[in-house]
Structure 1
């Protein structure tokens, strides 16, 4: 008996998004390394934690595909993008990555709607809400840097921003805590 509850099209699309989330994790890891290399320990820590959160998103996709009788496909990741030129460039790139990811999530929602796969449509609503939070977080980073003085910020302002972001609470779920009920 075939127990697969996903179309091949949705299975492939969800697998692709799982890999997009892994690439996002990869990107934030690279940006965190850049920040650390430039002396921004707090911003680096913030980006490393965000890398972990993106990995958790990939795990959610993986678990969902498995729970629906499909088999996720892990593909090779592209190289992380080059280093940002400065903090403004870094935060702008973070925002751009999130906007692009939102568009990909919306296409998945549309696909699930078109196929009348209400379980998948419902599953994706968590990601729609999450992307609102992700874009807001990225916009807040840009705003905080502007308030600090942008590219012309004083060392004291950058120190304070770095410290603040390093102390930002970590809301990401850890992979080791994931279950089939709470991927």
Structure 2
């Protein structure tokens, strides 16, 4: 069954949001790298790859459903932050916003009685639970660390171990 225009439109909007997210995480990775926080830079680079993967999953799905992918310009992302806590707080807030956007996609798919898209979107719903929890955990840890540069560097070292799994 061909994808409805309403579902196609909301998924195309989500593709743009996923690519914007990837771009934001790449900017955050660059900023962290420039601050000497290679572990945080790595964590953000993994996020960048994940967001690109999420966007491409939507692209492939729209094509499978005989729809049209309409790529839009990516709006400018922030490039600097006060500190790494501000980076991670923005990450958490952003992931909460993405969750709301995914819920909007689900609502449109349900209204269109598009069971296939609802099924696809359940993966994203589950993914967002993980994304929010991961970001929240890092924010909590950074608040606990406070101004301790030694603890920050030790935590940064832990984040170097994260790798992208498609």
**Is this a same-fold pair by TM over 0.5?**
yes
Instruction: Determine if the alignment matches structure 1 residue 172 to structure 2 residue 165.
Output: yes
Provide the residue aligned with 1:89 in structure 2.
Answer: 86
Partner Cα separation in structure 1 for residue 105 and residue 6 of structure 2: 10
SS in 1 for 2:80: coil
Residue 80 of structure 1 and its aligned partner are, at CA, apart by 1.2
Alignment root-mean-square deviation, CA = 1.1
Contact 2:8 2:68 (C-alpha < 8 Å) held by counterparts: yes
Task: Extract unaligned runs of 5+ from structure 2.
Answer: none
Partner Cα separation in structure 2 for residue 138 and residue 54 of structure 1: 14
Provide the residue aligned with 1:67 in structure 2.
Answer: 64
Residue 75 of structure 1 and its aligned partner are, at CA, apart by 0.9
Provide the residue aligned with 2:153 in structure 1.
Answer: 159
Contact 1:95 1:135 (C-alpha < 8 Å) held by counterparts: yes
Contact 1:10 1:111 (C-alpha < 8 Å) held by counterparts: yes
Contact 2:46 2:164 (C-alpha < 8 Å) held by counterparts: no
Contact 2:49 2:164 (C-alpha < 8 Å) held by counterparts: no
Residue in structure 2 matching 1:54, options 34, 51, 54 = 51
**TM-score, length-normalised on structure 2?**
0.96
Residue 172 of structure 1 and its aligned partner are, at CA, apart by 2.8
Partner Cα separation in structure 1 for residue 5 and residue 106 of structure 2: 16
Residue 171 of structure 1 and its aligned partner are, at CA, apart by 4.5
Residue in structure 1 matching 2:124, options 127, 134, 147 = 127
**TM-score, length-normalised on structure 1?**
0.88
